[in-house]
Structure formats: C-alpha cells, structure tokens
Amino acid sequence: MITGWRSLRAECKERDYCNRNEDCTGSARTMKIHYYAKLAALLLGLALSMPALAEQARRWTVKEWVLPTRDSHPHDPAVAPDGSLWYTAQQVNKLGRVDPATGAIKEFPLPTPDSGPHGLVVDRNGNVWYTANSKGLIGKLDPRSGRVTDYPIKDSRGRDPHTPVLDQQNIVWFTVEEGNTIGRLDPKSGDITLTDVPTPHAAPYGIVVSSRGTPFFCEFGSNKLADINPETLKVTEHPLPNADARPRRLALAADDSLYFSDYARGYLGHFDPKTGKVNEWPSPGGKDSHPYAIAVTKNGVVWYSESGVKPNTIVRFDPKTEEFAVEAVPSGGGTIRNMVATPTGRIYIAESGVNTVGMIEPAR
C-alpha cells in the first residue's frame, strides 16, 4: 500500500529508517523518494494493463463497411446461406452483397425504377426476396444470373409492402404498414393474398415466423402483437399491458417466445405466446431511447439498438441474469432500423443515416 506524504515521517520511525533519537528529516527525504518511486511504478503498471483490461471488458466488436454508392440509405440487412451480408439500398434502387471475410461489395441495380427496396430475406437457395415499398411489389433476385422477377401486388391495399420473412415451406409473408394488412406470396404459383389486421391503422411492422410456421408481427400503430394462422389466415391480436406501448420490431427466441422493442416508451419487452405473459425492462438509454432493431443470437442473448441515442447504441441483454451492456456504434449508426442474427452468432446491421452496413462480433 502506498502511504500518503503526511504519514511518511511516522512510517520512517515505525520502520526504523532512522534512529528514533535522531532527526528524521534526512530519512523522510529518502522515504519521499521511495514513495514517488512506488507511485510511478503503480501508475506505469496501470497504464500497461489498461488495454488488456479494456479488451477483457469489451463484450463485442463492430466492423463496418461504407457502401460504394453515396446516399444509399441501407434500410435492412439479411444473412444468406453462404454467410454473406445482404442489404437494401433504398434511395438508389439497389440490393447489395458484402463478403464479411474480405469486405468486397457487389451491387445489383433493380429493373423497376424508384422501387424503394425496403426489407429483404434470403431463401435456402440463395435467392433474395425484397419488398419494393414504393411500387407495391415483391421482388426476387437470383444473384447467380442477376435476374430479377417482380410479383406485383394487384390489390390496392398492398401499395407499401414493408418487411418480408420466409416460413419453412418457403412461403413469403410480409407486412403492409399503411395498407394495414399481412401478405402471403406463394413462390410456386405467384399468388398473393392479403389479410386485413382487425385494429384500424395498426401499422403492421416487424414480422417473424415461429418454429411451427406461425407468423407473428408487431402492430406499431397500437399496443399489440399479433399472429396469423397460416392455414385459415385468421389474425389473433395480443394486447400489451401498457396502453402506450408501441412495439416496432421483434425477434424470435429458441423457445418460440418473442422479444420486442417498445419504440415509444423506451422498453425491451418479452412475450410468451404459450402463456400470454409479458415482461419488460427499461432500456438503459431511458424513455426517449427509442429501441428499434432487435435480434436474438443462438445462445439466447438479445441484441438491439437504441435509435434515439446519438450516437446510436448497441445493447446486449442477457435473459439469464437480466443484465444490460451498452456501447456506442463507432460510425454513429444514423438509425439502425433492422438487424439479423447469423447462425454463427454474429449480428448484421444496416445503418441508414451513415451509408454503412456492419457486423457485430460477440466476444468468444
């Protein structure tokens, strides 16, 4: 332990640095040198250990890639079977692919002008399905040939398809925010069916499919989650306890329970469809943190972004301990609107305001 200078003279006598019958001024001077030498050694040790301590404390790293086309406004990311990161470049009418190993980026211009690609998902064969939010259609890109197939939504309610997801039969389900419907596209026949959401102006938003093939979605315009029966197309709504809740995105856990981001109230929520039980936790950034993009990795850890915090944050939540960890996004994020977990435990993100996509690598 380093002794303060005021007690050096006492320490001098106690340790017999001088004869107790003599003046300790000289020995105290020696003690003072000893004291500062110990202090310098301690500070040097701390300085040398800081990088190691910081690395030990860091629970993840973020790698980012700036997109080749300016002002792309990357909206959503997706993961392909080969591990590549796909994104929608909403403002420049393109899809893009990033090889995380090399950082190589390839862009695919879309044939329908100003289609406004919004959400996307990649099927088991590597085909990329996307919602053309500005043109009322679902598109499919074959990356091998570059060919794009359009599936127009002829029903006027389907004017703004939002987020797509695939079920176990390769059926494409999608939300239609302003049209207040849930869409179903059968790739074999090309048939598209729209189903109204019971609550007016519910603004269907994020959507996932359970292990049993049931699509669940958020009603961003209300305080409800909902599911749609894949056979009967009946929609069942699940009101959340707080009337002010506004769930925006949701993520599926291994037990088919759902985590959701409550954008309006600044909460992380959990809903168990088996019991109807809802749990929620205040987000670390507070009531105006606007939790948005969310994903669950294979180890059950929940990841999401606070879009109301500048720079945006990445939040890690461990359901076992109910502990949060938070770090700022290096580039600022510019609003991370969606994220997706890969089978290897990484998380892909799209950062719309800074023309960047990224990869979160959890610590091993």
pLDDT at 260: 99
Q: Is the pLDDT of residue 35 over 70?
A: no
Query: Worst-scoring range by mean pLDDT, 42-46, 128-132, 278-282?
Result: 42-46
Question: Rounded distance, CA 121 to CA 123, Å?
Answer: 7
Q: Is the pLDDT of residue 26 over 80?
A: no
Four-point Cα dihedral 177, 179, 184, 185, nearest 10: -100
Better-scored residue on pLDDT, 18 or 192: 192
pLDDT at 221: 98
Q: pTM score, two decimals?
A: 0.84
Residue 58 pLDDT grade (very low, low, confident, very high; cuts 50, 70, 90):
low
Q: Is the pLDDT of residue 296 over 80?
A: yes
Q: Is the pLDDT of residue 268 over 60?
A: yes
Q: Is the pLDDT of residue 192 over 60?
A: yes
What radius of gyration do the chain's Cα atoms show? 27
Residue 359 pLDDT grade (very low, low, confident, very high; cuts 50, 70, 90):
very high
pLDDT at 40: 47
Which amino acid makes up residue 317? F
Q: How is the chain split into domains, by residue range?
A: 5-55, 61-362
Compute the average pLDDT of residues 311-321.
Answer: 97
Q: Is the pLDDT of residue 341 over 90?
A: yes
What b/e string do you get for 234-250 counting C-beta neighbours within 10 Å, with b at 16 or more? ebeebbbeeeebbbbbb
Residue 345 pLDDT grade (very low, low, confident, very high; cuts 50, 70, 90):
very high
Residue 350 pLDDT grade (very low, low, confident, very high; cuts 50, 70, 90):
very high
For the 61-362 domain, the top CATH level (class) is mainly beta
pLDDT in tens, 195-234: 999 999 999 999 999 999 999 999 999 999 999 999 999 9
